[in-house]
Amino acid sequence: MCGISGAEGKDSEKLVKKMLEAVKHRGPDSSGIHSTGDITFGNVLLKITGDKSQPIHNNGTLTYNGEIYNFKEIAEKLGITTDSDTEALFNLIESKGVEAAIKELDGDYAFAYTEEGKIHLARDPVGVKPLYYGSNGALFAFASEKKAIFSIGIREISALKSGHMLSYSGGSVIEKKVMEFRVGERISDEGEASGAIFNTIERAVKKRLYNPCAIAFSGGLDSSLIAAFCPSAELYSVGMKGSHDILQTEKAASLLGFGDKLHLHELTIEEVESALPDVIKAIESTDPLKVSIAMPLFFASKDAHENGIRVMLSGQGADELFAGYKRYESMNPDELEKALRNDLDNIAANNLERDDAATMSNAVELRVPYLDKEVVELALRIAPELKVRAGVRKYILRLAAGRLLPRELAWKEKKAAQYSSGIYTALEKLAKKNGYRDERFLGRYLEHLSSAF
């Protein structure tokens, strides 16, 4: 896991060094840059898989952020020996070209590769790993976080779309989709569907395991199923004292038999107030919902980092794949299927970029098993009638989870994260305390805080 940046233009090396400074929290272990003419790539490294320094270069140059879970198979096909997914990716690109290489990847990634004066950017099919780019005419730049590009004076910034590749050369930008999810034969039998879900999610969780590993644990269905698949992981839960999440996680951990693995952080309103500027800066947003959802992840990853943990698993994506939100209940099957696909297509901008920024601000890599390519493609095949049945949301996922979880956890409804943690209410109280009496002005209070840095 890393922070990446790069630029083409005058003084590119100086500018990339400045961008790396803005994202140094993403890679505390080392940093590097490499220049070819007016093009410079940079990287700050958080060592997870292998020990290969970046950018890596030979005929071309690569800077990369993410995890390629099939890198050993790729290396074997290429006839190389390596413990580094970066090295495997680089050799695959050098051997087959960027677009052909992308089609062989199983993982979550954002990378840039340059050769013969052309820059290529690529992002994984769901958009788990962030990548932004911008230009002011004389300068083209990209980075893992928008703040890095802002730091060198570029204001018009775009996120590379999920599953897309961008090619830049001579001031021209060409962006195209290069990865699609395969949609196979419809699955309408609940026995077949629940069995396939159970096995596929188990594989997705286990390929993402790392030692030591943490789970962002809310005590709900999604995080409880992940926890049950990896009993060696530590569970991190954050909420206001006495909140639903604090009570639920204690109960859920006990039901799972993992009470000794649970790390509870009961926030005070003073802690929330103190952390607000850091959270807003990390996620680059003053949206009250985004801030209230990011806050628990920020503290959970901070606590995990202080305990020497670099990888955290999250249940993000289960709601969008298996119909977890309350608004899905009233939809007919066709409406539900369209809504779920739309939410999946927009999950990067709505959720993933926020979550990545919150955890990586503490140098912790967030992994999301429910958004594994195999899980996504399976979910797209499952009939919408199995996702909401008789008013029960995530029906088929609950049925699958019931093979492993206690019934109370598999079938329990859970409140929305921003409310169950008690943090949204805490933000409203802080806004009122600081003179923003009307709840409609919560956003203005957060904007005022953001102007302080």
Residue with tokens 């911008």: 134
The distance between the two most distant Cα atoms of the chain, rounded to a whole number of Å, is 66
Task: Extract the tokens encoding 359.
Answer: 């955890």
The span from the CA of 83 to the CA of 62, in Å, is 17
The span from the CA of 423 to the CA of 296, in Å, is 8
Task: Provide the b/e sequence for 125-151 (b: ≥16 CB within 10 Å).
Answer: bbbbbbbbbbbeeebbbbbbbbbbbbb
Contact between 316 and 368 under an 8 Å Cβ cutoff? The reply is: yes
Alpha helices in 23-159 (DSSP H): 71-78, 85-96, 98-102, 146-150
> Which residue in 2, 126, 148, 417 is the catalytic one?
2
The span from the CA of 83 to the CA of 100, in Å, is 22
Report helix angle 190-207 to 373-381, nearest 10. 170
With vertex at residue 424, the alpha carbon angle to CA 420 and CA 425, rounded to the nearest 5 degrees, is 90
- In sequence order, the β-bridge partners of residue 109 are 66
- Beta strands across the sheet bearing 39-45: 30-36, 39-45, 2-8, 140-143, 132-135, 157-159
| Chain center to CA of 384 | 25
The span from the CA of 353 to the CA of 286, in Å, is 14
For residue 374, how many C-alpha atoms fall within 13 Å in the half-sphere facing its CB?
17
The span from the CA of 65 to the CA of 26, in Å, is 10
Active-site residue flag, 2: yes
Task: Provide the b/e sequence for 355-383 (b: ≥16 CB within 10 Å).
Answer: bbbbbbbbbbbbbbbbbbbebbbbbbbbb
| Positions marked catalytic | 2
